Copies of this chain bind each other. A is one copy, B any other.
Amino acid sequence: MIGLLLVDHGSRREAANATLAEMAARLRQRRPDLLVAHAHMELAQPDIAAGFTALVVAGADDIRVVPYFLAPGRHASEDIPALVTAAAVAHPQVTWRIGECLGPHDLLAELALLRSGV
């Protein structure tokens, strides 16, 4: 079963962390055929190891990690791959891969225009 792990930076603000949990819920609603979990790279729980393990416990054997970042900075390109690699060591039966971060993409241009109100 495919598991999708949505990973953001993590914040000291609960409101910021809550938006990732909300996005995970929206993904579950859209794709009830997938297992979906979220994790924060740092500063908040669940961390990447906890999110990865939660998917495995729920039955995932193929995990797709999506860095929930707008640009390919150091976090999406280096830190998150390193943390996922470390988390996966405990689950050698599970295949996994890391997708590209969200941006740039035309859907983000559409969303920015919506938010600008013009």
Contacts and interface: CB of A to CB of B under 8 A. Distances in A.
A23 B117 CA distance: 17
Interface in A64-118: 64, 66, 68-74, 99-118
Number of copies: 2
A112 B19 contact: no
Nearest to A105: B111
**Size category of the binding interface on chain A:** 35 or more
B99 A23 contact: no
Nearest to A29: B109
Contacts of A30: 109-110, 113
A109 B13 contact: no
Given A70-B8, A73-B13, A108 B111 contact: yes
